[in-house]
Structure formats: C-alpha cells, structure tokens
Structure 1
Amino acid sequence: MPSRRTPLLRAATVGLTALALALALAGTSASGATGDRTSSVAPPIPPSPSDARVEKFEGAAAKARPIKQRRLPQHPFLAPNGRSSMHNDAYSSDAYEVSGPLGRDLVVTSATYGIRECATITFDSQDRILALCGGLEGFVMMLIDPVTLDPIAELAMPGRDVTSGANPLTDICGGTYFFLTPDDHAIATTTESSIWEVRETATGLAKVGSWELAPHIPDGDCVVATAPDWKGRVWFFTQQGTVGTLNRRTGKVRTLRLGEARGEGIYNSVSADETGGVYVVTTHAMYRLDAGRTAQPRITWQRDYDRGSVQKPGMLSQGSGTSPTLLGRKWMAITDNADPRTHIVVYDRRKGVKRRLHCRIPVLPEGASTTENSLVAAGNSVIIENNYGYQNPGSTMFGRSTTPGIARVLIKKRGCKVAWTNTSTAPTSVPKGSLGNGLVYAYTKPPRSDGIDAWYLTAIDIRSGKTVWSRLTGTGTQWNNHYAAIYLGPDGTAYIATLSGLVRIQDGPA
C-alpha cells in the first residue's frame, strides 16, 4: 500500500510549473450571451480571443419535473441535508430536494482565489459558503459570500509537507473532507493527522478544538475522511486502512485496522445511517461498521468486490472510487474496478440478512470505464459518471478530453437494469441531482479539434437521459474542476469549484 510519501498517480505529463503557467495564460471569459455576465473577485485574466468560436449555450430551458423519493432522515449531528458535506448528507446521496438551474437566461459569475480549489463546500445557517480550499501551498478554510463570491474570512490550516514527494494534485491526506454541524462548526481533517473544530466568530473563523490522531495510526499514514455516527461519535479513516472513533469531549480514541494483511487502503468519504451503521469502501472490500459499548469500531459485515487487475487511468487507487451511497432503508451502492467494465454493485446494508448482494451490473464502455466520483441517488436509481482517462489536468488540455459516458441504473425488486447511457464527457466532476426539478448536473468538456479547452455545466433529464442544456463556464485549464464537486445552494443556485476559484450559475429573472 503506498504511504503518504508516495505519489498516488503515475507521473503527471504536466508538472506544477507548467500547470501554473497554463493557469496564468489560459482564457477566462464566459460572458457574451444575452442576459449573462461574468465577474471575478480577483482581477480577471484577459479573455482568450478564441472564446468567440465557442458556443455559450446549447439546448433549451427545462420545465421542473420533480423526482419522488423517500425523504432522507436528518442526521442529528449534521447541518441540514444538502448543506453539510461534499456529498450533501449522511447517506452521501449527492442529490438535493431543491430545484437547481433550469437553464433560463443563465447568469454566470466567477471568482478567482489564485491556484486554490475548494473541494468541499457547505452552507451555514445564514446561507453563506464555508469551504475547505487547497492549493500548492496547503489548505485554507474560507467563509464566502454566496452571491458576490467575495471571501468574508479565512483561516489557514496546516500546510503540506513539501519534502514528502507526494503529488499535491492527487494527495488526499487531510484537507479534502470535512462536515458541518447544526451550529455551524466545521469538523475537518488536516495534513498533520489531526482533526480541527473551526467556528465562525464575529471577527472571522477560529479554531476552537483539535485532536491529535498521529499517536493512534502507523507512521507514514494519514487521515483521509471523517464523519459522525447517529450517537455523535466522530469517526475517522486513514489512507492505510485504520478506522477510529473520537470522543470530542474526553479525547478518547478507539481504533481498528481493516485488511492489514493485504494492504487495504481508503481513498473516499464514508456514509452513516440511523441504525448506527457507518459504511466505508476500501481498495478491496465494502464494510459496515458499528461501535461497541466502549465505542470500539467493529466489523458488522464485509464483502469483497472485484478490484480488477490494474489501477485504471482516472483512479486514485486500484479499487472503487465511490463513497457508499445509501438508498432508502435497505440498499447501499458502490462501483467496483472490474475488467473489462466497471460494475455498479448494490448490497442489502441491514444487519443479519443472509443475501447481502442484490445486483452487480456492468456499465459504461468496455475497456474504458471507471469512476472516481460517487453515485447520485435519484428515486430507485443511481447515476454514474465515467472518468476513464483523466490522470491530471494535462489530460484535458489542448482540446483533449476523456472517455464519455453517464449512465442511470434502476434498482428493481429482483435485480438492476441500465435505464440509459448519455454520451456526455465529464472528466472528473462529482455530479449532483436535483430531485426538485428532475435534472442531474455534470461538469463536461467535449473534445475539440481546435485545441480550445471549453468547460460546461450540463443538465441531463434523469428520466430520459437526454441532454437538456449545456452552459459554458469558461475556456482554459483553470476552469478544470479536478475532482471537485458541483453544489446546489439553499436557493438552487449551482456552484462549481475549479482549480483557481468558484463559478456560480443561476437562472435569470422569470
């Protein structure tokens, strides 16, 4: 299993110096359509003259057609569903009840924060953005105005170890995941194998608590993700497979090592449900964990999945690239890493059942299918995005892109069925669904023979799989979202984190 000091992906074709140069030289303009505008917090980089050759909007505005789904339970130790984490809620549904943009006279604004990407975004009780943003220098917690995108406050988090040899474009050790509590406290992992509690104050952001976890994990390991269970215990997960619980009041820690003999690692976020289960996928197996009477983590059940023969281009590891997605009271879905096609795998997550595997169904193109982003839960279905071919920002420069494919799989009483496959190309976005209007959003980049790197927010009809509309965000490498997610704010406004800042997209006035 690679340690923290080992690059997670094969050598990048474009070094950090080249990337910084590309970000400085690439065009940023996204304005031009009637009723659209683009602004920037920092002075904007001059627009590329090639923008005039790029379509700003394709398709037509949609009519809202809500998707019916059992309302997710509200986790008592998380901010309201849709506001609390990268994957929206404790179930990692990646779906919102609110209606997102329908495509009507779309207004696009942007902010540049230097070479800094805000991978995890949450929304506090005042509807402001609280984001954990990382760049070459390290990580910063930022409080951001949701309309102007102006930074309101910043708090520097522990920086990267620049001598470690880890590739900062793919290093997920701390600084990626955090969750927001009901009282607007952020519980975040750090690069120093600790957990910080950050609170908003009258004068900005402040660290009000921290817990050192390094004494409880092996040397060279690092904390990747954190989440609370329904009792309020904070769980943490390390890249080399250690799982732990933390009592924030007493500081007591209990740990369990998963799959040490075969080097199992953890590269994704986790989920939890109201029965006490915490769900994590390693590079080898799917686990349900529960806490014992002393808060000691224990394995309730585990199932190996097909991890394939290689680490596919587009993956951070040889294994599943998804966080477990929970549906209803029974199902849980992940992807495997099988050859020659990735499968969606659905399990019965409950305790004590004899038939754990419900279905395993192949999706996306043969020989070119994988995803490093979680599934979207929509009604009785999940939606997967193909990331095959994305290895670094250089993979999508000079008009190039990755393998297309977005698919919906229906979970039926006696198995699963592929409902549709869309041919959009979405290199690395964490797609999001809007149950309020029946659209799923992906961040797409069609390949172009003219060498222009044009990035779009694309809306797809969840029922039919047809592309409804695509709206240009900008042209150039800095518009690459590089594994960051799409988010919908409390009012339905869409936000996309990019390598250099944020993009905001909303419908124009009715």
Structure 2
Amino acid sequence: MRRHLPVLLLAGLLLGAGPAAVSAVAAPQPALKIPGPLDGPLPLFTGAAATPQPLKGPWRPVNPALAADGRSGTGLAAGNGAASPLPGPLGIGTKRSSAFLGGSCTSLAFDKRDRLLALCSVPTGPVLRILDPAGLATIAALTLPARPSADRADQGGGTHLLVRADGTVLVPTNGGDLLHLAVDAGGFRKLGAVGLGTVLGRGERPFAVGAGYDGYDWVAGAQGTVITVPRGGGAPRALRLREPVAEDIATDPTGTYVVTRDALYRLLAAADGTPRIVWRHPLVTGVSDPQAGRVHTGPGTPPAMVAGGFVAVADGAQPPHVIVVRTGGRESRRLACSVPVFGAGAGSVEAPLVVAGRSLVVANAYGYNGLASTELGRTTTGGLARIVVGKHGCRTAWRSALISPSAAGVVSRANGLLYTVLKPRSAPDAWNLAALDWRTGALRFTALAGEGLGFNSDGGPVVLGPDGAAYAGSFGGLSRLKDSG
C-alpha cells in the first residue's frame, strides 16, 4: 500500500489550504517550488552519463482497455508491472524542478495531450490535477470526497486512478462511487459514476481499481469485497472475501489477481459477471513490528504479473519472502519459488515490485515509520534485490545496499535503467533520483531532487514521461528531472 495520508502534525510545516472543488481554473496556476532550505551545499549530480541498453522482455500482452503502457497509471493493474516503454534521463546535464501541491502525490499518469495527471492527498482530501508536464503548472484541479478518518493506515478511495484506452479516467472515491471522467483541454468533465454502496460491506469504501481483459472493470474494497462493473452498462456484482485488502489489484488475460491480508487470489467473472475464485494461495500474514515500515499486516505488495505465466507478491514474514506462483496448473505445483530477501529482523517490503520480463526488483522499507524516520540525517536500513524467475525456480541476480526508503520505482524498457529515489544517512537530508543498471544493479548516477521533508517520497511513485523526464511523487508534491543535453 502507498502511504497516502500525511501526518498532520508534520504536515503543518509545509501544507496550506487545498484547492477549491472545481474542475478547471481560470488560467494555469504557476508551480510553486517545494521548499528545500538546505540544498545549497548538496551535490546536484554524482556518477556519469549512462548508455542506453534496451531490455528485450518478454512483455505481457497490452491491455486493450487501457491507455498505452507507461501512460495509464502507476498501479500494477495499469500496464506492465512498472516497466515503462518510455525513456528516462541518462544523466546528461540533468536539470530539476518541483511543484508544491500541498500533499503526497500517490498516483501519476498521462492524458492524450501528454499532460500529467496527479492524484494527491492534501489534509482536506484527495485532489486530482492536470499539470503542464514541463512547467508543472496546474491546469485543472478536481477535489474528490474527503477521507473520513485521520488514520494513515485507513484504506479508502482517492489513492488510485486508471486511464482507459479512450483517454477517460476511472477513480474509486471515498463517497462509495467509481467515478468516470473525461479529460478535456481545459479540465475534467464527469461522464458518470457507478454507485457501489449496495454491494460494499457496511462502512466499506472502494480502494483499488483494475481494468480487466474480460469487459469488466474490477474494484476491491478495503474489507475484501471484490466487484465487477460491466463496461457496457449494467449492475455491479460482488464477492466478499472477508479478508482485508490493502493493496492494488492486477489484471491479466488469465484473470484478476487480488492479495488480501491472508492470501493471493485468482478470480474470474462468471457468466452473469459475478466474481468467482479460481484458486486461493495462502500467504504468511506476519507479526507486528513497530520498526518494519509497514502500515498494515499481511503482504506488503500488490500482485505483480511476471511473463511466462507467473504472479509474484512479497509476504509479511520476517525476513520477507518474494513468493512466485504459477497462474495455472495443479495446486501441488502452483508455488514456483519462495525467495527470502533482506535480513531477519531488518527487512520488510512496502513498495510495489518492479517487474521487467521474467525478473523483478524488490526494495527494503525496514525502518520507515513515517516522515520523521528520514529527518535530521536519519534514514532506513535499505537494500534492493533483483530476482530472476526461471522454469525450474528462482535466483537472486544481484543485491544492492542502496537506501530507497519508500519510493515506488520504475524501469525503462527503452534504456534498461531502474529509477528510484534514494535517501543516504547524512545531513542535510538529500533526496536523489537514482538510475541503476537493471541487469547488474550498478548505480549509474544520482541527481538531486531536493532537500528536506517536502521531497520525502512517502510512498510516492516514479514515472517516466513522453518527453523523457522522470517525475517523482513526494510528501510536498512532485519533482521533475530531465536531461538538458
């Protein structure tokens, strides 16, 4: 799960009032920079320019219901497991800029005009924005229903979005609806909303949304209700798993995949559209550890589809394991591998797995217990690892001691670089965009995003834009890093 709700005590240091509940603004609002009070003495760049080495895949089938890979959203339900076909910066005169947006930006995507779509949580609730991708000015802002709880572990609407193939946007909201929006030149236009209150549990709100290959949009509620919504119109149908859901869902030609506190599920729609269970694979729930960097018990990642007929998730064990399961086959042969990552008593996984072809990268979140964990020179335990999935098991291709406390990374299929955000143990508190060689784990370069609280990833994603820039969501808003060469 992404940490989508700011800690209000610390938020007072940075945040102002949220935008009005409008779908457009009179004129683009110029971006205010995220404050970086001590970034002056910090190095702007380390390392050397990287040489592109494209990845060959294999890649999962393109989802016909979604916008193109890399543009449709940051959830694993949207595209190829955070493997973007777009190029990112190579470290050639890399320049930085930022936009102070009043809260953590947890979902990023692009519209048909190559503008950035950002779903951010401010103290008053979620706000969906259209941003100019170059200057980060706000073109339009739509305030969504507020979250009723101040608990940062609260699971509810307003943290996920999907961009469909026709350019429209789906957002599950705290109001209990699946909101359908058009993205026009000047702002958002409401096309409709499917009320889910009649099929959700008492007090339950929709959390995650995925576009199935089967003609249905799939929604998961925080209490474990899984819902199908026919794209052509019709009543939603539901199945209650009765196990809490705190992660995104994933879709594939073989079905829809949901991870609960206790298990990984493969689901299909029955003839009348009702979700049905194909199989259930139990997972280790784990025990509560105040230093683990987790905001809920159970698995720490959404299900991630791996080429070759596999689905992967990181469990809540200590040490955590990457569990890789075959999507088909007999129950006795379904588990492909279980690979321990990081050290016992010093490892946990919270950021989504980054998948490219038949391998995946996992990041250690141990020690990230909120914004204060990385202030005043402090940081987390750290660690990254790449796991390769083979026909007869899995192996660890490389390990890295680099520290990425809370960012959701992305890999470029065009240049073979893995992008994430690092926070070293030193003061001032530098947050750096980092580019690693996907194949070897070698660090190619870092570029300073900024210093201090506002640049804390706090669960925010890194995405690559059509213009070659990398965008990183953070507690204060959004950073942009782009080559000038």
Which TM-score applies when normalising by structure 1? 0.88
Find 2:200's aligned residue among 198, 214, 217.
217
Q: How does 1:50-449 map to 2 (within 5 A)?
A: 50-87=38-75, 90=78, 92-113=80-101, 115-161=102-148, 164=149, 166-167=150-151, 169-258=152-241, 260=242, 264-275=243-254, 277-310=255-288, 313-339=292-318, 341-350=319-328, 354-448=332-426
Name the counterpart of 1:20. Answer: 12
Question: Cα distance 1:77–1:370, how it changes in 2: closer, same or farther (>3 A)?
Answer: same
1:83-111, Cα deviation, whole Å (9 max, x unpaired): 11213664551111222111111011111
Q: Kindly state the Cα deviation for residue 311 of structure 1 after the two structures are TM-superposed.
A: 5.1
Pair 1:418–1:135, CA change in 2 (3 A): same
* CA 388–255 in structure 1, closer or farther in 2 if over 3 Å, else same: same
Distance (whole Å) between structure 2 residues aligned to residue 463 and residue 201 of structure 1: 40
Q: Aligned match of 2:479 in 488, 496, 503?
A: 503
Give the fraction of aligned pairs with identical amino acids, expressed as a percent.
36
2:199 is matched by which residue type in structure 1? H
| Distance in 1, Cα, partners of 2:145 & 2:373 | 30
2:190 maps to a residue whose letter is: K
AA in 1 matched with 2:402:
S
SS of equivalent residue, structure 1 residue 21: coil
Cα distance change, pair 207–62 in 1 and its aligned pair in 2 (3 A): same
* Equivalent position SS for 2:300: coil
Distance 1:225 1:351, change over 3 A: farther
* Aligned residues of 1:373 and 1:428 also touching (Cα < 8 A): yes
- Asked whether the equivalents of residues 194 and 210 of structure 1 are also in contact (C-alpha less than 8 Å), the reply is yes
- The one-character-per-residue Cα deviations of 1:442-474 (angstroms, maximum 9, x if unpaired) are 1111111x4x21101011111111111111111
Aligned length: 470
Q: Deviations over 1:241-299 (max 9, x none)?
A: 111111254340211111x3xxx211111111123x00111111010000000001000
Quote the residue 1:32 is aligned against.
Answer: none
Task: Letter of the 2:142 partner, please give it.
Answer: L
- Residues 147 and 156 in structure 2, CA contact (< 8 A), matched pair in contact too: no
- In structure 1, stretches of 5+ residues that fail to align are 1-7, 25-39
What amino acid is the match of 2:394? C
Cα drift, residue 475 of structure 1: 0.6
Report if aligned partners of 2:153, 2:296 keep a CA contact under 8 Å in 1.
no
Amino acid at match of 1:255: A
Q: Does 1:466 align with 2:442?
A: yes
8 Å CA contact 1:365–1:405 kept in 2: the answer is no
Alignment of 1:477 with 2:453, yes or no, is: yes
> Match of 1:395, SS?
helix
Give the secondary-structure state (helix, strand or coil) at the position aligned to 2:12. Answer: helix
- 1:56-92 deviation line (CA, Å, top 9, x unaligned): 2111111111121023311111111111121366455
How far 1:492 sits from its partner (Å)? 2.6
3-state SS of 2:73 partner:
coil
Q: Per the alignment, in what secondary structure is the counterpart of residue 308 of structure 1?
A: coil
The Cα of 1:343 is off from its aligned counterpart by 0.7
Moved more, 324-333 or 310-319: 310-319
Q: Which moved more, 1:344-353 or 1:98-107?
A: 344-353
User: Cα gap change, 1:245/1:379 in structure 2, threshold over 3 Å: closer, same or farther?
Assistant: closer
Q: For the structure 1 residues 494 and 46, does the alpha-carbon distance in structure 2 shift closer, same or farther, using more than 3 Å as the test? A: closer
CA gap 1:417/1:467 in 2 versus in 1, 3 angstroms: same
1:109-137 CA-partner distances (Å, limit 9, x unpaired): 11112x22221111112211122222111
Contact 1:381 1:408 in 2 (8 A): yes
Q: Using a 3 Å threshold, how does the CA distance of structure 1 residues 88 and 195 change in structure 2: closer, same or farther?
A: same
Give the Cα–Cα distance (whole angstroms) in 1 for the partners of residues 466 and 343 of structure 2: 36
TM-score if structure 2 supplies the norm length?
A: 0.92
SS at match of 1:245: strand
What displacement does 1:412 show?
Answer: 1.9
What is the root-mean-square deviation of aligned Cα atoms in Å?
Answer: 2.1
Quote the offset at 1:215 in angstroms: 2.0
Is the contact between residue 91 and residue 326 of structure 1 (CA under 8 Å) also seen in structure 2? no
Amino acid at match of 1:148: G
Q: 1:15 to 1:68 in 2, by over 3 A?
A: closer
Q: CA deviation at 1:300?
A: 0.3
Matched-pair contact (CA < 8 Å) for 1:82–1:88: no
Moved more, 343-352 or 191-200: 343-352
Please say if residues 32 and 98 of structure 2, whose CA atoms lie closer than 8 Å, have aligned partners that are also in contact.
no
Whole-Å Cα distance in 2 between the matches of residues 92 and 388 of structure 1? Answer: 26
5+ unaligned residues in a row in structure 2: which ranges? Answer: 17-28
